[in-house]
Structure 1
Amino acid sequence: MKPTRRTVLLAGAAAALVPSPPATAAPRAAAATRPYASYWYPDSLPSGSPGPGITWRSLKSWRAETDPDLAFNASSVPLTARFTPAPANATARAGQARIQSLVSFGPTAGNPSQGSATADYYALTHWAYIDELVFWGGSSGEGLILAPNAPIVDAAHRHGVPVLGNVFLPPVAYGGQLRWTRDLVQRDAAGRHPLAERLVAVAEAHGFDGWFVNAETGGGDTALGADMLSFLRELKSRAAAKGQRVTWYDAMTVNGTVSWQGALNGQNEPFFRTSDDMFVDFRWSANSLVSSASRAEQLGRSRYELWAGVDVEAAGWNPTVRWDAIVPADRAHIASIGLYRPEWTRNHLPADQRGPAAFHAADDRFWTGRSLDPSRPDGTDPWRAPAVSVADRSTVTSVPFASTFNTGHGLRWYEDGKVTSDAPWNHLGLQDRLPSRRWAVHTEGSRPAVTFDFEDAWRGGSSVLVDGVLSAPALVELYATRLPLTADTVVELTHRTDSGPVRVELAVATAEPGTPGGTPPYTYYPVTSGGTWRTTAVRLTGLTGTVRAIGVRLTAADGTPVRWRLGGLAVRTASRTPAAPSGLRVSAASGGDLRLVWNPAPGEVRQYTLHRVLPDGTRRFLGGTCQRAYFASGLKPEQGERAARFELRAVGELYTSSAPVTLTHPW
């Protein structure tokens, strides 16, 4: 692998990483430090001193019960099952190639546990095409083993995507030292590998789904290769017992040397047999992928357990990729796709133009293709977007279901259409389950633009905006579903017409289209529209069985341009109010920086929201999280205020909020 392929993540953290003591009920027992995503060396640490903002830690010494940041870093959303609806187009296939995505969401050190005060973030939303997400990163100067932070895991799990932590043993050119490889595979007196047990314990405590093992430090020998294979077998055995996964990167060979094969062959087959799947290095060829697929099947394994690496870090959708070698259009797919660093869609934008709207425009182009409509792919587009070859998936299978189309970042925070914080933010854990097909529009006339919009929202940071001339009715697909229908089923739309008279209809189908890319057999229900936010409840009269698809149909009254906004969608039988959390307390404080912890609310909870109550009674949104702890920073007393007042609420699936639990903290 060439050095230019990887961004070396060294230093540059914004704040020091000083571990804080465990949370206690005493409010001012300790200083409040910002929690960050965890990272370690296997055992021995580098010589010298760490750079600014970096903390050197040994994984061998880690224990969940003494980790002061675990409450901030542990995912709370279980991995959700998903299904595959009829494909959005005739070329997308189910049951063949899958997609693995290797993403660096931030630096190794200084990656905040629970989001930050900027909208400039890789807010991945096209989960429907991804089967495995790798939390990429690590460096010789910071740490080599990375646990993904909780918001990413929560968002991925909500969409049915497993997330792997990363074990990166760097090439010598990047500062890799062979002693770290030996540390990883060390044995105890009984011949076991203690670091295998530690890795599985970390994944279990943090709530993610396993490990991506990338051993690229050269200089090893056959003995080290044998130790690595033994370590991997123990890791896989322990991981499988906990429902976790292990992916191997095509780098180290069985003789202990590093030699990227670009294929499944005798040099790496034992590692593949010991893992759930393998990332095939970028050196693959059309012939090597065919032989690799054949070899996998001879082993009784699926060819789609091989990820053919596609490097998009430097040029995104611009490089020439030999797509027919991976996902040919005229025969069965050869292998799966391993996308290396698709966060290019954010990183290639100029720093002063990375607003969320610009990012999503690029990200939609990357995942959907030049047509920006997965039901109508552009056959002349040289970039074969994932939506062209891979069928989308959905997790919308139970009632109640609700979405406010929150992408996990925004320029402001809205509640009931009102701004309750004017600060930009990101927190992927607050992301809703989002439409998988963005954006499939069926019309005989001109196609309007459909986008996530960040200039207004009903709740969270974004809404869906349909903008353009409607020369004929336009049906916008929203969700593929498997929702059981009863006599009490109600669908609620929260929407607003910004300009142009438009007729709005809810579209509901209880069957799928007869052919891929076809329009489901919808039944249409009129919805009252207007120039202010309104919530309309629709009973699905005349329908029985299972709701398979939900959309909206818009018809312009007089052919004038239309701007119509969708802020929320809910499918329910009855409204539910969650129980309140309890025990809200300050576990550590440093001036205006507070670590807040609480006891979780009983029953099902989507997330928690924290507000500050100002002296005039105004409620200001401070943040939200799916965890039972939150770090609030930079708080200042209002004029004449002697104590800060906080309210914490549990939020249910339908966005109903519990009664508040309150806290007063003296300045």
Structure 2
Amino acid sequence: MDRKDRKDRQGRMDRRTFLGMLGAAGVTIGLAGPVGPFALPASAAADPAPGRAPHQPFMHGYDAASLKSWTPQSDRWAKYFRSRVPLATRIAPFAATQANPDLETGAQLMNLSYDYDNSFFTAYKYNDVYARRLLRFWQYTDLYGSWHGMPVDGSPTDEPDHGLINLPNPGYTDAAHRNGAKSLGCWFWPRNGEFADYLEQRADGSFPVADKLIEMAEYFGFDGYFINQEAETAPADAAKLMEMLKYLRTQAPEGFHVQWYDTIMVNGKLDYQNQLNDSNAPWIQDGDTPVNNSLFANYWMPDDAQVEKSVETAKKLGLDPYDVVFHGTENEKYGYNPPYDTRLVFPEGKPARTSWALFGSHFAWDRYPDRENPDAQPAVFQRERRYWSGPNEDPTRTGRTEYVPWPNEDDGKPRDADNHKKWDGVARYITERSVIGAFPFVTRFNTGHGRAFFLDGEKASSREWNNASIQDLLPTWQFWTRSDGTPVTVDYDYTRAYDGGSSLRLSGELGPENATTVRLFKTALDVGGDERLSVTFLTGRAGAESGLEVGLLFADDPERFEWLPAGRAEGAGWTTAVRRLDAYKGRTIAAVGVRVSAAKLGEYALNIGELALLGGSAERPQAPAGFAVDQVHVAEDGKTAEVFLSWQLKGQGVWYYDIHRELPDGQRESVGRIYDEVYYVKSLARAGTEGTTRLQLVAVSPDGTRSAPASADVRWS
């Protein structure tokens, strides 16, 4: 049987398997693999959403009727699911500071993945659970696609009716934008209803659904859509869909991105091509008319002929293969050991042939059996590092250490899916990116969730939480360590933090023979002369020599760090050391790292709570205006309340807003943090029998300077 026959047979199997799994409710959703789509468990759809508060906003999907009639005012929770963080600009590549200086920078990465937990009725921007998936490796992603599936608003939990469209989680969009990555919503067909209902065209040639897709993306703050038309489509509907997508492309704003999954032909037949070729190219460019921006090629990739065909077809269209072709790898089902070799896209020692698409990078969390146990999260984090940074958990030492090729046919059954030694690591093929191109730069190593919340080094709340929206810029390299001996261990610490939920901890046996350097951030910071470096650290021992130095690596001498010692701990708590940078005026900081050392061998532990590169004098932001309590829903026992807050969002000069409460003993308790103009408090605890709880809202500037507070009162009766 030749390759074409094998491909056609697999395509038919995809279709048959898919329809069998779909069911009348359209609950099971998946992306096609060589033997059919991977379906989400049916139990997920029937989940009655335990833990959801009675008035807690959650996201939903959109069918034809709700798309055509959509307005922000009619969508009952729309204002609570907006991303307000603008898309950051990434700095120019600089090979000298790359983990692999020889790795070329052209290939892009699409990461099609779900967000926190993929639950259909618990899709929140933030919530009160620590053990949830948070992506810590945005530096390799160019496009993030939200693979989720959501029931339409009002759909029953036992037989949910999913919409064609689900929006990306705005918390993830905020994190993506902060790191310079675009965030895409998801289109998935088949669903209940008639597809023709989505294709309505007005007399003036416009398409109501296309117009609403653009309007919704602009309102909710994301950057386009991933389109998975994964079902046989009537020829007339396929032709009208092509027309609608052309219209969408002409009407969309600059930078809007629509990616097409390798599914139907122009006549509507479902036939995975596993490449860009003449048969599916019209979905990217029909003659001279642009349609979709890029193609996510299906995974069936037995040799490099298909990849070369994609390159040839893109060039024939006058397009850059890196811009329009993303060959896919399926990790959700196959984990670290997918059946088709990534080296077909990235031949060893040669430039990448096309860009790369990942499906299911969430497997590192989702496929871990104890994933919802807070104490088991370090193992989940390790799985994630092995996926992105390679089996050695170091982006400078990537590459599989064990590999047995799959048989020619993929039978759909995972093989050794948890064996990280069979996976090269994303960092082997995709260069790290950074947005740190201007002062100030401040990070607290806050990953976006925690077992408590800290302010100024003190625990300000003992509650668990997750909020990807407030994730800091995390280290570019996780983790690039060097030592003449055994380096100390580097990891996030959720038991101690200076601000947020986590800090960076360096620990292990340390002595004169194994001083350890940790390269942390890729930057392009031009020093004008009045800048300063600030590092906040914790040793736990008053007066102890920290052994900590912060290193600056300059573009004009990228092989040698300039080291600035942090000095001694001022007490048993957090110490902040500040060093001026005027000696480096006129130079460009290309990377930042730290080094720890000890005069004699012994156990060592140090937490870094904040690392900041600051400009001139700090400007205090104005106190927020319009802070108000919009709704209060007191629980029957009178001890807790759900609270809806709002204020006027200041577009520039604010990094985020902090919400606190005043306790009767004078202490402050953290209630929430967000960059938005609204906030939902899930469970405000009443202090005794107090009749009023005073909340304070503080604006925080990009350099960490805090405004005077604005106040609003929650009344318990």
When the two structures are superposed, what TM-score results if normalisation uses the length of structure 1?
0.90
Q: C-alpha separation between the residues in 2 aligned to 1:564 and 1:504? A: 8
Structure 2 counterparts to residues 600-615 of structure 1, below 5 A? 600-601=649-650, 603-615=652-664
Q: Which residue of 2 aligns with 1:481?
A: 523
1:513 to partner: Cα distance: 6.5
Of the three residues 142, 155, 168, the one matched with 2:162 is 142
By how many angstroms is 1:262 displaced?
0.8
- Counterpart in 1 of 2:248? 235
Change (3 A) 1:283 1:162: same
Helix, strand or coil at the partner of 2:713? strand
Given the alignment, which residue of 604, 611, 621 partners 1:569? 611
Secondary structure of the corresponding residue to residue 556 of structure 1 = coil
**One-letter amino acid of the structure 2 residue matched with residue 629 of structure 1:** V
Tell whether 2:156 aligns with 1:114.
no
What amino acid is the match of 2:64?
A: P
Letter in 1 for 2:701: G
Q: Does 1:277 align with 2:289?
A: no
Q: Compute the RMSD of aligned alpha carbons.
A: 2.2
Please state how far the C-alpha of 1:481 moved relative to its aligned partner.
Answer: 0.9
Contact kept, 8 Å, 1:193 with 1:231, in 2: the verdict is: yes
Q: Greater CA deviation, 391-400 or 520-529? A: 520-529
The residue number in structure 2 matching 1:53 is: none
Q: Specify the code of the residue in structure 2 equivalent to 1:158.
A: R
Partner of 2:417: none
Q: 1:569 to 1:180 in 2, by over 3 A?
A: farther
- Provide the rounded CA distance (Å) in 1 between the counterparts of 2:94 and 2:393: 20
- How far apart are residue 279 of structure 1 and its match? 0.4
Could you tell which deviates more after superposition, 146-155 or 86-95?
86-95
- In structure 2, relative to structure 1, the CA distance for the partners of 1:90 and 1:634 (3 Å cut) is closer
- Residue 321 of structure 1: how far off its partner (Å): 3.7
Provide closer, same or farther for how the CA distance between residues 112 and 587 of structure 1 changes in structure 2, counting only shifts above 3 A.
Answer: farther
Cα deviation, residue 610, structure 1:
1.1
Aligned 8 A contact 1:408 1:427 in 2: yes
Unmatched 5+ stretches in structure 2: 1-31, 151-159, 286-290, 402-420, 635-640
Which whole-Å CA distance do the structure 2 matches of 1:384 and 1:475 have between them?
Answer: 24
8 Å Cα contact 1:580/1:660 also seen in 2: yes
Give the 5 Å matches for 1:118-137.
Answer: 118-137=129-148
Per chain length, whose mean CA-contact separation is higher, i.e. which structure has more relative contact order (CA < 8 Å, sep 6+)? Answer: 1
Would you say 1:528 and 2:567 are equivalent positions?
A: yes
In 2, are the aligned partners of 1:477 and 1:550 still within 8 Å (CA)?
A: yes
Matched, 1:370 2:378: no
Q: Which residue of 2 aligns with 1:61?
A: 69
- The residue type paired with residue 506 of structure 1 is V
Cα distance, 1:69 vs. partner? 2.2
Q: Does 1:293 align with 2:336?
A: no
Give distance in 2, aligned partners of 1:323 and 1:157.
27
CA deviation string 1:620-665 (max 9, x = no partner): 1111111110111233422120112111111111222211111112
Q: Which residue of 2 aligns with 1:22?
A: none
Question: Aligned-pair distance for 1:559?
Answer: 2.0
Give 1:179-578 correspondences, 5 Å limit.
179-218=193-232, 220-239=233-252, 241-273=253-285, 274-286=291-303, 287-304=305-322, 305-349=324-368, 350-353=370-373, 355-378=376-399, 380=401, 381-470=421-510, 471-498=513-540, 502-511=546-555, 520-530=559-569, 531-544=572-585, 545-572=587-614, 573-578=616-621
Check 1:376–1:469 CA distance in 2 against 1; reply closer, same or farther (3 A cut).
Answer: farther
Q: Which runs of 4+ in 1 moved over 6 A?
A: 15-18
Report if the CA contact (8 A) 1:42-1:145 is conserved: no
Are 1:10 and 2:61 matched, yes or no?
no
One-letter amino acid of the counterpart of residue 331, structure 1: K
Query: Mean Cα displacement is larger for which, 572-581 or 270-279?
Result: 572-581
CA 1:13/1:101 → structure 2, altered by over 3 Å: closer, same or farther? Answer: farther
Distance 1:258 1:384, change over 3 A: same
* 2:404 equivalent in structure 1: none
How far does residue 258 in structure 1 lie from its aligned partner after superposition?
Answer: 1.5
Task: Tell me the secondary structure at the aligned position of residue 481 of structure 1.
Answer: strand
Given that 2:365 and 2:371 are in contact with CA atoms closer than 8 Å, whether structure 1 keeps it comes out as no
TM-fit CA distance, 1:92: 6.1
Q: Deviations over 1:528-576 (max 9, x none)?
A: 1325310000112531321111111111220223211111011112223
CA positional deviation for 1:3: 4.9
Amino acid at match of 2:357: G
Give the aligned residue type for 1:122: R
SS in 2 for 1:506: strand
Aligned to 1:624: 673
Shift of 1:606: 0.9
For 2:277 and 2:506, how far apart are their aligned partners in 1? Answer: 51
Percent identity of the aligned residues? 28
1:54 corresponds to: none
1:33-44 paired onto structure 2 within 5 Å: 33-43=55-65
Unaligned runs of 5+ in 1: 19-31, 44-57, 171-175, 515-519
What is the distance in 2 between the residues matched to 1:579 and 1:331? Answer: 53
- One-letter amino acid matched to 2:39: R
**Secondary structure of the structure 2 residue equivalent to 1:599:** coil
Q: Give the alignment of 1:169-180 within 5 angstroms.
A: 169-170=189-190, 176-177=191-192, 179-180=193-194
TM-score (normalizing by structure 2): 0.84
Q: How far apart, CA to CA, are the structure 2 residues paired with 1:529 and 1:70?
A: 50
Alignment partners' CA distance in 2, 1:445 and 1:585: 57
Tell me if the contact between 1:72 and 1:630 (Cα under 8 Å) persists in the aligned partners.
yes
SS at match of 1:156: helix
Distance 1:72 1:463 in 2: 28
Question: 2:343 aligns to what SS in structure 1?
Answer: helix
1:108 CA displacement: 6.1
1:301-355: per-residue Cα shift (whole Å, max 9, x none)?
Answer: 1222211111111242133441221111122212222111111111122145454
Q: Letter of the 2:94 partner, please give it.
A: P
2:85 aligned to 59, 77, 84, which one?
77
Residues 1:527 and 1:409: Cα distance change in structure 2 (over 3 Å): same
- Inter-partner Cα distance in structure 2 for 1:353 and 1:532: 30
What SS does structure 2 have at the residue aligned with 1:10?
A: helix
